[in-house]
Amino acid sequence: MGFDDLDAVLALLSGKETVKEKVWEMLLLSLDKEEWEYLSVRAREVAQARFGKSVYVRALVEISSYCRNNCRYCGLRCGNSGAVRYRLDMQQILDCCREAAALGFNTFVLQGGEDSRQSDEWLAGVVAAIKSEFPEKAVTLSVGERSSMGYALLRSAGADRYLLRHETADEAHYAFLHPQTMSVANRKQCLYELKRLGYQVGSGIMVGSPGQGVRHLVADLMFLDELQPQMIGIGPFIPATGTPFAGEEKGSVEMTLRLITLLRLRFPNALIPATTALATLCDGGTERGILAGANVVMPNVTPLDLRDKYTIYDNKKSNGSESVEQLSLLEEKLRGIGYHIDYGRGDYKGL
Ligand code: SAM
Ligand code: SF4
């Protein structure tokens, strides 16, 4: 394909029309290294036109390593008897937020397994307490599938955003990755409900999850087009000890970067993180993610003595520039590629 044709594709991606399956498929299958480099430079320009050379930071609090679900890929699955379990109480979560606030963060992300003891009511109390102490700051939740009433309660307690990756839009692939108790239909319904309730919604996938092929990625891109999320989380699959997929291949860093690029081109205003999984698999992963079109990083503020217990996959990075303790290292890394941290709330702004 020549660069003129690529410019025609760029026009398609930035247009309002639905991008056809064939186009996504061609992009994923037929481009050479030079063409991908061309697209990633365009994606970087698109991000810079919206966000300058700023990267938003969100403080990540991992509130529980208990989970009632048994997703086959995840180290926190209930069937993993080797996983170490902990749950933070309200005071610990507030202390994490205070620490992050003192460092200048304006978004707290509370993420955890689907812990039955952290009920909607309890979590709503935590969100309300955070919002009462920090009314100007944003609270993002990432605590899995809940009832419509649960989501509504959390929203009225003050939660601003919700991250729930759809993981795969294909029904059979979803069933391969998840226990029978979970379904892609319910996942999608949750996402639409969150949108209806006025959350800024994040979805996304793991790249290279077992059984994933190009047709699944095409379905994922088509689904994201339909959902129009405000945030998109794309990270490589990394095997986790104690799971059925412990011996599977890890996902591709290159494919992760390519998807970030395509998504930035398609969703110019989206908040797209350079994920911890990307940083875990590759030195310089954060910088490469930013240069591919990402514009968010989520440093970890979970209590230090518990941080290595949130083992969703093996060797997960949680110190170094992935931690709030080493923000200067993150700043230095970003400076190395001509970027800097933006401590603003970083809400979604459509045009
Ligand atoms: N329980 C909530 C959920 O599932 O949405 C939030 C916590 S879950 C650990 C957050 C994300 O971690 C999931 O959406 C999944 O994409 C990612 N994840 C889980 N296991 C992973 C693995 N082995 N490799 C890479 N990412 C993984
Ligand atoms: Fe639980 Fe989320 Fe892990 Fe699934 S991905 S086992 S829901 S923590």
Q: Where does the pLDDT of residue 4 fall: very low under 50, low under 70, confident under 90, or very high at 90 and above? A: confident
Among 292, 219, 286, residue whose Cα is nearest residue 255: 292
- Distance from Cα 71 to the centre of ligand 2, integer Å: 6
Ligand 1 binding pocket, CB closer than 6 Å: 73-74, 76, 111, 113-114, 142, 144, 164-165, 167, 206, 235, 237-238, 240, 277, 312-313
Among 192, 155, 188, residue whose Cα is nearest residue 174: 188
Which residues are paired to 342 by β-bridges? 56
Q: What angle do CA 194, 196, 202 make, to 5 degrees?
A: 40
**Cβ(175)–Cβ(167) below 8 Å:** no
Mutate to test the pocket of ligand 2, among 60, 62, 69 (most ligand atoms within 8 A of CB): 69
Q: Where does the pLDDT of residue 2 fall: very low under 50, low under 70, confident under 90, or very high at 90 and above? A: low
- Distance from Cα 99 to the centre of ligand 2, integer Å: 26
Q: Taking residues 34-59, what's their average pLDDT?
A: 97
**Sign of the torsion angle spanned by Cα atoms 205, 208, 209, 214:** positive
Rounded to whole angstroms, how far apart are CA atoms 8 and 59?
39
Q: Convert the pLDDT of each residue in 210-257 to its tens digit.
A: 999 999 999 999 999 999 999 999 999 999 999 999 999 999 999 999
Q: Which CATH class is domain 3-342?
A: alpha beta
- Distance from Cα 65 to the centre of ligand 2, integer Å: 9
**Sign of the torsion angle spanned by Cα atoms 174, 176, 178, 181:** positive
Share of the chain above pLDDT 70, in %: 99
In this prediction the pTM is 0.98
Domain boundaries, the chain: 3-342
**Cβ(210)–Cβ(247) below 8 Å:** no
Q: Where does the pLDDT of residue 15 fall: very low under 50, low under 70, confident under 90, or very high at 90 and above? A: very high
Instruction: Spell out the alpha helix ranges (H) of 228-299.
Output: 253-266, 276-281, 285-292
Q: Taking residues 194-200, what's their average pLDDT?
A: 98
Give whole-number Cα distances, 141 to 107, 118, 166, in Å: 11, 13, 15
